[in-house]
Amino acid sequence: MKNLSNENIIHVKKGETEYIQFRKLLEYGDIINHAYGIGINKNYRTTKSNGSEVYNKAIKDYEDLCTAIGINYKDIIKPCQEHTNNIKEVIKKNNSDKVNFQQEEYKSTDGLITNKENIALATTNADCILLLLFDPIKKVIGNVHSGWRGTLQRISVQAVEKMKKDYNCNPADIICCICPSIRKCHFEVHADVQELYSKEFKKLNKIEELITVVPNENKWKIDTVEINKIILIQAGLKKENIIDCGICSVCNSDLIHSFRVEKENYGLGTAIIELKNSNGGIKC
């Protein structure tokens, strides 16, 4: 079995369910649950327009993953991601006796935050960056989807700002874990995207190393992961609190879904984070 474990993450396999967890977040295992679900045999695509078979499989895959890490899958709140910079606060649990992936209030939303216990925040990706946020002092969590459009809109910083505004979080206390995503080694773009990035991030230190031309081609490679790290540090996070799994979805497409590899029939991975019942948490 291929093992993705490294100094920042552990790779766990339970039956047909595989996931990674961040060693840093496991230090707070009495407060939070979390995981990033992997495996090409799993597909966390919950859009009903893709057919009942795909939807029902996603529900089963979520149930299996949640069971493996000790979460009730019916407590999942998942936004309808549209590559926006919209972050919403989750203040109530799903009131249905079954999981509801299509809640109207989370349409056109790409990030969620909460300080309520037993609400599992979920996002999905197939190359895009997913960020798990955790403030162990205020006991606040966040889950953010930041594709190239979201990164361009600085959605990660928007999430930190909302955690400050809504929960009085100190950015210096926030831990940010970066899930598997496409990396600079494979993120090639044409001039239209390169120009947008060069304009938005022109003041970043060593921007010429973050956006580099591909020799003999009219393409550029962009390090969106490193850009997120830099703007999060500018927003007040400590460098040592930004934990990168270091896993490229394209390089590891045998275990992790990648749009660039799978094309139009691509599947989705998922990131989940939840505050557990604890002394000092906010009951929902």
Does the residue 208 lie in any domain?
Answer: no
Q: What is the pLDDT of residue 209?
A: 97
The pLDDT, as a whole number, for residue 280 is 54
In this prediction, residues 259-283 reach a mean pLDDT of: 88
Is there a domain that residue 178 lies in?
yes
Predicted pLDDT of residue 67: 97
Within a domain: 174 = yes
pLDDT of amino acid 284 = 64
Place of tokens 């984070």: 273
Calpha distance 50→30 (Å, rounded): 37
- Predicted local confidence at residue 96, as pLDDT: 75
Which CATH number do you get for residue 262?
Answer: 3.60.140.10
What pLDDT is attached to residue 51? 78
Domain assignment present for residue 84? The answer is yes
Domain for residue 189, yes or no? no
Report long-range pairs for 82-85 (Cβ below 8 Å, ≥24 apart): 82/107, 82/108, 82/109, 82/110, 83/110, 83/145, 83/147, 83/149, 83/150, 84/108, 84/109, 84/110, 84/150, 84/153, 84/155, 85/110, 85/111, 85/150, 85/153, 85/154, 85/155, 85/158
Confidence of residue 279 (pLDDT cuts 50, 70, 90): low
Number of structural domains (the chain) is 1
Residue-wise pLDDT tens digits, 112-161: 999 999 999 999 999 999 999 999 999 999 999 999 999 999 999 999 99
DSSP 8-state secondary structure symbol assigned to residue 283: P
Q: Which pLDDT value is given to residue 47?
A: 84
pLDDT tens, position by position, 206-243: 999 999 999 989 999 999 999 999 999 999 999 999 99
pLDDT of 106 > 80? The answer is yes
Say whether pLDDT at 50 is over 80. Answer: no
66-104 confidence digits (pLDDT tens): 999 999 999 999 999 999 999 999 999 887 777 888 788
Is pLDDT above 90 for 10?
Answer: yes
- Rounded distance between C-alpha atoms, residue 175 and residue 238, angstroms: 8
In a domain, 281, yes or no: no
Measured distance between the N- and C-terminal CA atoms of the chain, rounded to whole angstroms? 40
**Which of 171, 133, 131 is closest to 151 using CA atoms?**
131
User: The domain containing residue 252 runs over which residues?
Assistant: 9-183+236-275
225 is a domain residue: no
On whether residue 171 sits in a domain, the answer given is yes
Torsion over CA: 185, 188, 194, 197 (sign): negative
Q: What is the pLDDT of residue 283?
A: 74
